[in-house]
Amino acid sequence: MVPKMRTNRMRRYAITGLALSTWMAVTVSSATARAQVHEPGAHRRYAVELEPQVALKWAGLPGDAAGIGPGLRVSVPILQDGPLAKLNNSLAIGLGIHWAYFQEPCGAYFWEGPSPEPDDPNYATFIKDCTAHQFTAPLVVQWNFFLTPVISIFAEPGMALVHERRSGTGWCDEEPCSKDDNSTKLPFVVWGGARLAMRDSLALTIRLGSPYVSAGASLFF
């Protein structure tokens, strides 16, 4: 159906673009990556990393609906060197908050039979809008590997508190949504990403994973 195809296309474009950017950044620096990653401690020292971000998100809504919104990550190093003593790596604890807004003509997801034409009396039901607000607060362990003075990559496994508020009808079993349709859950989450340093205290950061992909700017203090 048209809404689902549009959402899936937007998601594919975002993931492909971020993945391509990550691959290009790592490839450009591949000539010096081996020398840097085998130099323990050869990276910037910082007390905290602040990352304002914009994310494309999907999770649990009918039709694989996608939402977009701003967020903020805060990462605090707990191990400046290690846990692998022979590699240029570090560990940090990451906390965040992210809001995403979803809006889809979700009546189409519950429609049975051929799609009605605009002059069909049922067309208004077919294209009705559903909206949702989703708030995500992740807690992750961030494992960093510093490949060059410019490029670093990381993995982030952890958990996230996810609160969802729905409105409309299609996402609430064809009945008006109420406070009872709100949900809160605590899923496992995982991301992988890369940073491209612009200067000693600033880097561009991209992140791929579940339940969202993001792009942001990392500020180091």
Give per-residue pLDDT as tens, 95-139: 999 999 988 776 666 666 777 888 887 777 677 777 888 999 999
User: Smallest Cα–Cα separation from 140: which of 49, 23, 58?
Assistant: 49
Place of tokens 């109420």: 178
Instruction: Report the CATH fold assignment for 2-220.
Output: Porin (2.40.160)
pLDDT at 49 over 80: yes
**For 180-199, how does the pLDDT look when each residue is reduced to its tens digit (9 = 90+)?**
668 899 999 999 999 999 98
Question: What is the pTM for the complete model shown?
Answer: 0.78
Rounded Cα–Cα distance for residues 104 and 65 (Å): 7
> 């401690």: which residue's tokens?
41
Q: What is the pLDDT of residues 128-137, one digit of tens each?
A: 777 888 999 9
User: What are φ and ψ of residue 123, in 5° steps?
Assistant: -65, -35
Question: Does residue 64 have a pLDDT over 50?
Answer: yes
168 vs 94: which has the higher pLDDT: 94
Task: Give 46's Cβ-side CA count (13 Å radius).
Answer: 19
Q: Rounded to whole angstroms, how far apart are CA atoms 103 and 93?
A: 33
Which residues lie closer than 8 Å to 121 by C-beta, 6 or more apart? none
CA dihedral 97, 43, 16, 103 (to 10 degrees): 10
- Residue spans of the domains in the chain: they are 2-220
Asked, as a colleague might, if the bond just before 157 is cis with ω within 30 of 0, I would say no
Strands (DSSP E) found in 14-86:
49-58, 66-79
Measured in residues, the chain has a length of: 221
Mean pLDDT of 164-175: 68
Bigger pLDDT: 35 vs 189: 189
* pLDDT band with cut points at 50, 70 and 90 for residue 3: very low
Percentage of the chain exceeding pLDDT 70: 70
For the CA atoms of 66, 67, 71, 77, the dihedral, rounded to the nearest 10 degrees, stands at -10
Backbone torsions φ then ψ of 117, nearest 5 degrees: -80, 160
pLDDT at 7: 47
Helix (H, G, I), strand (E, B) or coil at 91: strand
Structure tokens at 97: 């908050």
